[in-house]
């Protein structure tokens, strides 16, 4: 179970990325270009570094007669050295010595002091818009620090020498000749030498050279970080939109939402729902679309193993799913194979089949139900394709439109005994009756038909159908005990092609429970095999 949940989560993640890949790529490109342009227009700064080396030996203290101080760790001594370099008035002295309008604040802001690893070397780095100025600031600051340390050491040794001389002056000649006097004289001599040498415990290990390349901006690094930021931003927006957007975007989602098999996938094409003028011949579909309807028809036939399917109801969750166009083309596909097909328009509120097929205005379902016109006089014949040389007569199907005058009580007419009698008569006359109904989640007119047909086919437009509407339709169908055969995914833009045609290849075989019948394992028979079986059983075309 956990592996299935993880697999489902990964599939949803990949589906989200695939659905929003254009947005993600756009975010990456825009962010990368913005960061690149900003980096290119940013002022170039140069960094120069001077290295100072500290002499932490205590020989000088021993020469001055002091006891060596021990116990400081290397890290503590390193931190002390860094603090010594940062303290003092070297920033003000550097600004005064260099000029160029420099201030103490500028030097402080553009100068950094850091230790070099665990050694006794401290780096003094200066950054400026001019490479020469950066080197001058670093070298001047380091020079002033070394000079200050030398002056401090000279004053220290001079004060120590003054104290030793005072002690010597207080000794008698005999005491001067003694061990204590000799030791004081030696110490005085060492201190005098150290005071004159002006020795310092720090020196310049390496002077700063003029940098040849800027230290900032780092265009390549900033651009790469911008691309990464754009990717994260794009993914965040994509997942946010996917969470807010409740539309179903993949045929696999339809299977999971409705819990029924996927009967087929119809690719998006403008010719599928093109309106026709009255009397205009119904042109053949593009090969990919025609093959999709052939596969749907073939799969529907396999529900006829144990029971004939003579009446099919085409339903959708909402308007605009392409239900009417698919019902008419599915009828035409069955009629093209030689079956007697009746397309019955049960949408008495907003009928569109007459406009869809270019049918003549005249009486229709309403007139038949009220008894003013018999069924055979109300039906019209519509050619389903262009006549060919091998079949000059072409093929046709019968259509029963809603009628010229729409009734004020469509739900009552559809639920009437006259409608049940009409369906029985149509089943005796035709091999297949396909009913086009209004959206089941919008009006309840067609609820009574759900238990009177042999099968229900759901049509859902990918990218248009909302998950909440789909769940409502599923609840309606399950509550009515409707014999749902499966779902047809309409207007699919991106199809994964198989080696044998343009059929959609699902990511994996869905696990589902059929509402009334199960699909046999031999559902994948080829159209040629299906044509051979059609001669023995023409119930669904």
Q: Residue 274 above 70 pLDDT?
A: no
Confidence band (pLDDT; 50, 70, 90) for 218? confident
More confident residue, 201 or 226: 226
In whole angstroms, give the CA distance from residue 142 to residue 135.
11
Q: Residue 356 above 60 pLDDT?
A: yes
Structure-block tokens of residue 39 = 């980096």
Q: Average pLDDT in the 93-117 region?
A: 88
Return the number of other C-beta atoms located less than 10 Å from residue 406's C-beta: 14
**Where are the alpha helices (H) located in 364-466, listed in sequence order?**
365-369, 375-378, 410-415, 417-429
The answer to whether 346 and 365 are in contact (CB under 8 A) is yes
Determine the Cα angle at 461 with ends 460 and 464, to 5°: 120
Structure-block tokens of residue 456 = 């229900």
Compute the radius of gyration of the chain from its Cα atoms: 46
Q: Average pLDDT in the 70-85 region?
A: 76
Q: Residue 434 above 90 pLDDT?
A: yes
Which positions ≥6 away from 422 have C-beta within 8 Å?
365, 368, 369, 375
In whole angstroms, give the CA distance from residue 475 to residue 510.
20
Q: Report the DSSP pairing between strands 121-128 and 111-115.
A: antiparallel
Element (H, E) at 203: strand 202-206
Mean of all residue pLDDT scores within the chain: 79
251-500 to CATH, choices 3.30.870.10, 3.40.50.300, 1.25.40.10, 3.20.20.220: 3.40.50.300
Q: Taking the domains of the chain in order of start, what are their residue ranges?
A: 9-42+219-244, 46-206, 251-500
More confident residue, 342 or 184: 342
Q: What is the pLDDT of residues 108-118, one digit of tens each?
A: 889 999 988 77
Phi, psi for 111 (deg, rounded to 5): -125, 140
**What is the pLDDT at residue 72?**
57
Sheet arrangement for strand 311-315: 262-267, 484-492, 455-461, 311-315, 432-436, 341-345, 396-400, 380-383
Which positions ≥6 away from 448 have C-beta within 8 Å?
414, 415, 419
**What is the pLDDT at residue 288?**
75
**What is the pLDDT at residue 34?**
94
Which positions ≥6 away from 509 have C-beta within 8 Å?
none
Bridge partners (DSSP) listed for residue 262:
487
Its CATH architecture, for the domain 46-206, is 2-Layer Sandwich (3.30)
Confidence band (pLDDT; 50, 70, 90) for 495? low
- How far from 488 is each of 67, 437, 483, CA to CA, in Å? 95, 15, 15
């Amino acid at each position: 179970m956990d592996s299935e949940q993880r697999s489902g989560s990964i599939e949803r993640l990949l589906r989200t990325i695939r659905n929003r890949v254009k947005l993600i790529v756009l975010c990456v490109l825009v962010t990368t270009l913005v960061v690149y342009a900003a980096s290119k227009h940013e002022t170039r700064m140069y960094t120069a570094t001077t290295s100072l080396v500290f002499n932490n030996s205590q020989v000088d203290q021993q020469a001055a007669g002091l006891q060596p101080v021990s116990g400081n760790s290397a890290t503590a001594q390193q931190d002390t050295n860094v603090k010594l370099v940062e303290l003092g008035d070297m920033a003000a002295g550097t600004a005064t010595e260099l000029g160029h309008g420099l201030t103490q604040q500028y030097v402080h802001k553009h100068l950094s002091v850091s230790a070099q690893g665990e050694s006794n070397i401290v780096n003094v780095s200066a950054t400026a818009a001019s490479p020469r100025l950066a080197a001058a600031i670093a070298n001047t600051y380091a020079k002033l620090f070394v000079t200050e340390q030398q002056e401090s050491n000279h004053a220290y040794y001079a004060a120590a020498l003054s104290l030793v001389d005072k002690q010597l002056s207080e000794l008698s000649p005999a005491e001067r000749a003694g061990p204590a006097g000799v030791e004081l004289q030696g110490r005085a001599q060492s201190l005098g030498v150290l005071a004159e040498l002006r020795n310092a415990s720090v020196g310049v290990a390496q002077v700063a050279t003029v940098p040849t390349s800027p230290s900032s901006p780092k265009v390549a690094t900033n651009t790469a970080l911008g691309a990464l930021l754009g990717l994260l931003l794009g993914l965040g927006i994509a997942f946010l939109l996917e969470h807010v957007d409740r539309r179903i975007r993949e045929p696999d989602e339809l299977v999971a939402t409705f819990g029924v098999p996927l009967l087929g996938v119809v690719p998006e094409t403008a010719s599928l729902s093109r309106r026709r003028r009255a009397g205009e011949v119904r042109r053949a579909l593009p090969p990919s679309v025609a093959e999709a309807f052939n596969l749907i028809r073939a799969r529907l036939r396999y529900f006829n193993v144990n029971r004939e399917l003579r009446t099919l109801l085409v339903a959708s969750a909402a308007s605009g799913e392409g239900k009417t166009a698919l019902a008419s083309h599915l009828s035409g596909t069955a009629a093209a194979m030689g079956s007697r097909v009746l397309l019955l328009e049960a949408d008495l509120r907003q009928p569109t089949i007459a406009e869809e097929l270019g049918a003549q205005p005249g009486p229709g379902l309403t007139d038949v139900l009220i008894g003013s016109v018999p069924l055979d006089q109300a039906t019209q014949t519509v050619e389903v394709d262009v006549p060919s040389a091998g079949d000059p007569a072409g093929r046709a199907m019968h259509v029963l439109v809603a009628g010229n005058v729409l009734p004020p009580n469509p739900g009552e007419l559809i639920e009437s005994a006259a409608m049940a009698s009409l369906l029985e008569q149509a089943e005796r006359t035709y091999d297949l009756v396909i009913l086009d109904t209004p959206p089941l989640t919008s009006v309840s007119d067609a609820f009574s038909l759900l238990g009177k047909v042999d099968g229900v086919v759901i049509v859902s437009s990918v990218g248009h159908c909302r998950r909440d509407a789909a769940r409502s339709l599923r609840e309606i169908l399950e509550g009515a005990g409707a014999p749902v055969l499966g779902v047809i995914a309409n207007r699919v833009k991106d199809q994964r092609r198989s080696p044998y045609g343009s059929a959609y290849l699902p990511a994996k075989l869905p696990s589902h429970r059929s509402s009334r019948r199960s699909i046999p394992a031999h559902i994948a028979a080829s159209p040629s095999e299906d044509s051979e079986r059609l001669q023995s059983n023409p119930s669904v075309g």
